[in-house]
Structure 1
Amino acid sequence: MLSPIQKANIYLRLFGFFKVPLIWLCSPKIRVLNQEQVVISMPLKRRTKNHLNSMYFGALSVGADVAGGFMAMSKAQQRGEKVSLAFKEVEGRFFKRPEGEVHFVCNDGKLIDKMLDETLSTGERVNKPVSIIALCPSLNGDEPMAEFTLTLSLKKMA
């Protein structure tokens, strides 16, 4: 029997392979998924690093995308609803070079619940900023390597 995290990782791999191959190529893995938080890890490997042997900013953006979007997808599926999900705006601040596996943390579960409640009740598109922090725990503990703010856009599908 598979755990919920194992099932979520299988879904993420299949979604990446069939829908967004760049996600699949970066090999993100869900470490924590609950009602309030998601933690995604991404290995530093040939496909994700830059010429300075740190994580390429494009790979960091993929990790932030997955951390911000997966929780919303998961919550909509738990409710048995189909929701159109997109990001309308991205802001990133980079503090240090992540030279190891990066963990992307999003603690906006309650905000995403409110967004889903609103779009499911009104049918209108809802846009709100979600925050993602990129950490490199093996080298820098809880010190942020980067912070992302992504404007998540949700709309109930007809």
Structure 2
Amino acid sequence: MNSEVKKINLFLLYKLPSAFFCGVRVKEINESKCIVTVKHRWINQNPFNSLYFAVQAMAAELSTGALVMKYINESGKNISMLVANNKSNFTKKATGQITFTCNDGHLINEAIQKTIATREGQTFWMKSIGTNQKGEQVSEMDFEWSIKIK
């Protein structure tokens, strides 16, 4: 586990404790993708004995938001970020360990460069796919991120 992953997971403990205590963890992050996992347990289940939708949303959002934070940090600029919209689709009961993968890192740099150049806010959609241990898709979540220079 690289130091960037450790820093993000410590960030969860201090700034998003509900995600941390539900077991949401970043496993990998690089320029193009972020992988987040969460395991179905008693503390994060719904009455139907599967992973509660809000926990899935926390993990999926983190897989997109960690990439946005990474690019903002690397820009060296004071840029705010906010989820403006989200869409979710649940296709299978989420049990066991669920892995959320966002492969949309390439979308962020262009938006950051535009917001720096124009000083106007930018929005862009990022997708996170949740899969179970068998590789079956359990959910798909899209987040519209809004960024602007402070």
Normalising by structure 1, what TM-score?
0.87
1:106 aligns with 2:102: yes
1:133-157: CA deviations, max 9, x gaps?
Answer: 1111x2x31x211111111111122
**Residue number in structure 1 paired with 2:140:** 147
* Counterpart code for 1:149: D
Answer with 96-105 or 21-30: which moved more. Answer: 21-30
Give the direction of change, closer, same or farther, for the CA distance of 1:119–1:48 in structure 2 (3 Å limit).
same
**Residue number in structure 2 paired with 1:116:** 112
Equivalent pairs counted in the alignment come to 150
Q: Which runs of 5+ in 1 are unaligned?
A: none
Are the equivalent residues in 1 in contact too, given 2:9–2:26 (CA < 8 A)? Answer: no
User: Percent of pairs identical after alignment?
Assistant: 23
Pairing 1:69-148 to 2, within 5 Å after superposition: 69-136=65-132, 138=133, 140-141=134-135, 143-148=136-141
Are the equivalent residues in 2 in contact too, given 1:73–1:83 (CA < 8 A)? Answer: no
Answer with 93-102 or 8-17: which moved more. Answer: 8-17
* Counterpart code for 2:139: A
- The CA distance in 1 between the partners of 2:6 and 2:60, in whole Å, is 19
- The CA distance in 1 between the partners of 2:141 and 2:101, in whole Å, is 10
- The CA distance in 2 between the partners of 1:154 and 1:22, in whole Å, is 24
Q: Give the superposed CA RMSD.
A: 1.5
* Counterpart code for 2:7: Y
**Residue number in structure 1 paired with 2:37:** 41
Q: Cα distance, 1:57 vs. partner?
A: 0.2
- The CA distance in 1 between the partners of 2:66 and 2:104, in whole Å, is 12
- The CA distance in 2 between the partners of 1:20 and 1:132, in whole Å, is 19
Q: Which runs of 5+ in 2 are unaligned?
A: none
Following TM superposition, where does structure 1 have runs of at least 4 consecutive aligned residues deviating by more than 3 angstroms?
none
* Counterpart code for 2:49: N
Q: Secondary structure at the match of 1:27?
A: coil
